[in-house]
Structure 1
């Protein structure tokens, strides 16, 4: 489990495709502190397992399902990614509960620069809008963010300068795509209440 609080911007060293799968190697010395083989690190919102590391770089294997459902397959050497180690049980939960299981890829529909705030508008893929509420939580490329507004399938999020500086959202532009994970609590509530709401569609 993760919190959506980014610890480091890592740099892609290589992304090697092998058939339908891939292996990514990243340079990120900070998040490797206390990490062992088999531990989990979220890469722009995608939970990956450390399969090799030397203290400064580490590698992870990416299966076909993950490549199809996320932006990881489009990475190139030199690209920056948001990184977060899995949360410890004795740590603060500063963001919200993030699983590292990406629900969909979303396109940035708008970017508005303001005085101390940048607004991003994202086109929500079909089926996700019901899990997103005004002032609720959403993970965008692994970053825990608060929904500033939602209307007609478009979600708006506000970004402070600190977020822009410490994450990849500082360089994202209209037309770029990001990984989205909606609040898993909404999914559980929907499924548990389905028996009380005849005809309700439940996402499994």
Structure 2
């Protein structure tokens, strides 16, 4: 079953502990809102990464991060006390704001500049150039699990603008130049690209013909 999120951060949790394992880590996250109605095995997007709750306490949950998650996301960079964006997976009763987010991170991006523009701040993120084909002006991108609008882009950077309220509600507002964020590109763009570039394999012609049948004694 494919899980979907909206990119609307429900709360910022805090890392209680990061326990390394064999090509893996175990996270223990302090939180409250995302635990309402949550049960063991539920999915909680943590900095935009879909994680399974392996333990749920009164004010925390734990999750195991396998090697694919460790190498692709910024979760391995976390330490005790760090903030993380949290969101429970979408249900049929959940209002759909933001955009459709899978919780499958494409890459880490690095914050290269922060510029004040009136009441807002512009955050410029450097990403892998191969992924820039999914970026369009006024399109959507997910940064640490937050659905944000792209206001500008170059060959290998994208920029988003945050008002003061948003700066206080998501991790990006607390990051400094040089910090890393998890980046998930627009889901629809990926499917459109795949459909337009897909070529159905040519069916091989059958080797069974009249000559084949004669050579093998059928005639």
CA RMSD of the aligned region, Å? 1.0
Give the corresponding residue for 2:14.
11
The one of 152, 158, 161 equivalent to 2:161 is 158
- Measured in 2, the distance between the counterparts of 1:75 and 1:178 equals 11
- Measured in 2, the distance between the counterparts of 1:81 and 1:44 equals 5
How far 1:166 moved relative to its partner?
0.7
TM-score scaled by length of structure 2: 0.87
- Measured in 2, the distance between the counterparts of 1:89 and 1:136 equals 25
- Measured in 1, the distance between the counterparts of 2:116 and 2:177 equals 12
Give the corresponding residue for 1:103.
106
Kindly indicate whether residue 112 of structure 2 is the aligned counterpart of residue 127 of structure 1: no
4+ residue runs over 2 A deviation: none
How far 1:171 moved relative to its partner?
1.2
How many residues are aligned here? 196
Alignment of 1:109-188 (within 5 A): 109-188=112-191
Q: Which has the larger radius of gyration?
A: 2
Kindly indicate whether residue 97 of structure 2 is the aligned counterpart of residue 94 of structure 1: yes
Output one character per residue of 1:135-165: Cα deviation in whole Å (capped at 9) or x when no partner: 1000001000000011222111111111101
Return 5+ residue gaps in structure 1 as ranges: 197-204
Kindly indicate whether residue 61 of structure 2 is the aligned counterpart of residue 51 of structure 1: no
Give the direction of change, closer, same or farther, for the CA distance of 1:172–1:193 in structure 2 (3 Å limit). same
How far 1:44 moved relative to its partner?
0.5
Output one character per residue of 1:168-201: Cα deviation in whole Å (capped at 9) or x when no partner: 11111111111000001101000111147xxxxx
Give the corresponding residue for 1:41.
44
Give the corresponding residue for 2:74.
71
How far 1:114 moved relative to its partner?
2.4
* Matched residue SS, 2:35: coil
Is the 8 Å Cα contact of residues 40 and 54 (structure 2) preserved in structure 1? yes
Is the 8 Å Cα contact of residues 14 and 83 (structure 2) preserved in structure 1? yes
Return 5+ residue gaps in structure 2 as ranges: 200-219
Output one character per residue of 1:46-67: Cα deviation in whole Å (capped at 9) or x when no partner: 0000010112111000001100
Output one character per residue of 1:56-107: Cα deviation in whole Å (capped at 9) or x when no partner: 1110000011000000011111111000011111221110001000000011
- Measured in 2, the distance between the counterparts of 1:66 and 1:180 equals 13
- Measured in 2, the distance between the counterparts of 1:64 and 1:152 equals 29
